[in-house]
């Protein structure tokens, strides 16, 4: 009887004892669950202090390429086809000379000394490089005189440094991001003479300051820069991206194909023989024909030009 009574008392106390009194071991208490931030469209972040600032680009669909009626259209911009893009992150700006310098310093990377630079209005191969592109720059300007191979070396280093999957944007990702939910020739509209508020392009400044440029076809406006401009000097597009058009041509991940017949519809990289890779966006020396969302350029992966740069992309999360 006494044993039964003791068992009853013990059971009663355990049932009615306050929860905090029962838990005498603080380590046994439930710990709050750590929440993981889910990136949202428009969010900005950096994976390290010297890393490029990234912008989250929302998923969506768009018509890639240009209609036959578009002024300045090239034959390689069709057929127009719908592409579905998964959310990803893209550099807010093109990679700067300062960011590329940090990579070179850390890795002792050698980018070469055979950059094609502008001399008397024409591009010629000489001993220029990313530090001496033939015109004045500082660390806030886009790095130029970099090849597709150089850009790949940078994104590989960035991936190893951060543990995240960086890459050059695919051609479809690039055009989708450049358009920013627009369907006009450029993200500011169809009038090329409005470019100077949004992009560093061949313009009246170019003609007055660059020797041999008086015969160039230019935008009828003035952006204030003869060569490259510091990144972010102009208005951003609807996705919050700067210099998606103008300033420097941007290397993409894709091999070049002379039409979109057979192109993937999921925004993935379209590879081929790798003889040439696609560049997008136009540059400081380009006329309205090349400063369009659909305009395409290509070149050999080892070639360096003082109008070539790049922008990085990153998988999410």
Question: Token pair for residue 227?
Answer: 């060569």
Given this model, what pLDDT does residue 35 score?
Answer: 53
Question: What tens digit of pLDDT does each residue of 233-276 get?
Answer: 999 999 999 999 999 999 999 999 999 999 999 999 999 999 99
Measured in whole angstroms, how far is the alpha carbon of residue 259 from the centre of its chain? 23
Question: Token pair for residue 276?
Answer: 């040439």
Tell me: pLDDT of 19 over 50. Answer: no
Dist. CA 94–CA 100, nearest whole Å: 11
* Position 184 in a domain: yes
Comparing 15 with 106, which gets the higher pLDDT? Answer: 106
Nearest to 156 by CA among 148, 165, 147: 165
CA angle 214, 219, 221 (to 5 degrees): 100
Under DSSP, the state recorded for 76 is G
* Position 2 in a domain: no
Dist. CA 176–CA 154, nearest whole Å: 23
Tell me: pLDDT of 13 over 50. Answer: no
Share of the chain above pLDDT 90, in %: 86
Question: What tens digit of pLDDT does each residue of 95-152 get?
Answer: 999 999 999 999 999 999 999 999 888 999 988 999 999 999 999 999 999 999 999 9
Question: Token pair for residue 5?
Answer: 């009574």
The count of C-alpha atoms lying within 13 angstroms of the C-alpha of 180, restricted to the half-sphere facing its C-beta, is: 22
* Position 26 in a domain: no
Dist. CA 62–CA 79, nearest whole Å: 13
Q: How many domains does the chain have?
A: 1
The count of C-alpha atoms lying within 13 angstroms of the C-alpha of 187, restricted to the half-sphere facing its C-beta, is: 25
Given this model, what pLDDT does residue 38 score?
Answer: 72
Given this model, what pLDDT does residue 8 score?
Answer: 41
Strands 44-45 and 122-128: unpaired
Given this model, what pLDDT does residue 14 score?
Answer: 41
Dist. CA 15–CA 10, nearest whole Å: 9
Dist. CA 120–CA 136, nearest whole Å: 16
Dist. CA 78–CA 92, nearest whole Å: 28
Dist. CA 128–CA 151, nearest whole Å: 17
Tell me: pLDDT of 31 over 90. Answer: no
* Position 16 in a domain: no
Tell me: pLDDT of 279 over 60. Answer: yes
Given this model, what pLDDT does residue 86 score?
Answer: 98
Q: Average pLDDT of the chain?
A: 91
Residue 224's CB: how many other CB atoms inside 10 A?
A: 12
* Position 31 in a domain: no
Per the structure, the complete domain to which residue 48 belongs is given by 39-314
Question: What tens digit of pLDDT does each residue of 177-202 get?
Answer: 999 999 999 999 999 999 999 999 99
Average pLDDT over residues 276-283: 98
Given this model, what pLDDT does residue 297 score?
Answer: 98
User: Token pair 């030009």 is at which residue?
Assistant: 305
What CATH number corresponds to the domain at position 276? 3.90.1580.10
Given this model, what pLDDT does residue 9 score?
Answer: 44
Report whether the peptide linkage leading into residue 79 is cis, meaning its omega lies within 30 degrees of zero: yes
Given this model, what pLDDT does residue 36 score?
Answer: 60
Given this model, what pLDDT does residue 120 score?
Answer: 85
Measured in whole angstroms, how far is the alpha carbon of residue 234 from the centre of its chain? 16
- Band (pLDDT 50/70/90 cuts) for residue 39 is confident
- Kindly report the backbone phi and psi dihedral angles of residue 230, in degrees, each rounded to the nearest multiple of 5, phi listed first: -55, 140
Average pLDDT over residues 78-95: 98
* Position 75 in a domain: yes
Average pLDDT over residues 147-161: 98
- What's the predicted TM-score (pTM) here? 0.88
* Position 3 in a domain: no
* Position 10 in a domain: no
């Amino acid at each position: 009887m006494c044993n039964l009574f003791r068992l009853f008392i013990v059971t009663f106390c355990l049932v009615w004892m306050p929860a905090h009194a029962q838990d005498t071991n603080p380590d046994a208490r439930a710990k709050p669950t750590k929440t993981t931030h889910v990136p949202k469209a428009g969010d900005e972040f950096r994976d390290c202090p010297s890393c490029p600032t990234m912008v989250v680009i929302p998923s969506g669909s768009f018509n890639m390429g240009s209609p036959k009626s578009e002024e300045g259209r090239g034959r390689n911009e069709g057929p127009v086809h719908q592409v579905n893009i998964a959310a990803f992150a893209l550099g807010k700006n093109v990679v700067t000379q300062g960011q590329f310098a940090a990579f070179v310093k850390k890795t002792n990377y050698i980018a070469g000394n055979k950059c094609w630079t502008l001399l008397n209005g024409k591009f010629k191969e000489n001993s220029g490089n990313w530090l001496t592109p033939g015109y004045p720059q500082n660390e806030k300007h886009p790095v130029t005189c970099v090849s597709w191979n150089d850009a790949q070396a940078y994104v590989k280093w960035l991936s190893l440094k951060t543990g995240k999957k960086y890459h050059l944007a695919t051609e479809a990702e690039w055009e989708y991001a450049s358009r920013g939910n627009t369907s006009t020739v450029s993200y500011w509209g169809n009038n090329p003479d409005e470019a100077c508020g949004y992009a560093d392009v061949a313009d009246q400044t170019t003609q007055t300051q660059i020797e041999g440029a008086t015969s160039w076809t230019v935008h009828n406006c003035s952006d204030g820069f003869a060569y490259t401009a510091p990144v972010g000097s102009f208005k951003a597009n609807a996705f919050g991206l700067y210099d998606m058009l103008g300033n420097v041509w941007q290397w993409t991940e894709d091999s070049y194909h002379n039409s979109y017949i057979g192109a993937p519809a999921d925004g993935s990289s379209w590879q081929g023989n790798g003889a040439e890779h696609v560049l997008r966006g136009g540059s400081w020396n380009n006329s309205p024909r090349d400063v369009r969302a659909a305009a395409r350029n290509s070149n050999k992966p080892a070639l360096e030009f003082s109008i070539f740069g790049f922008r990085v992309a990153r998988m999410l999360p």
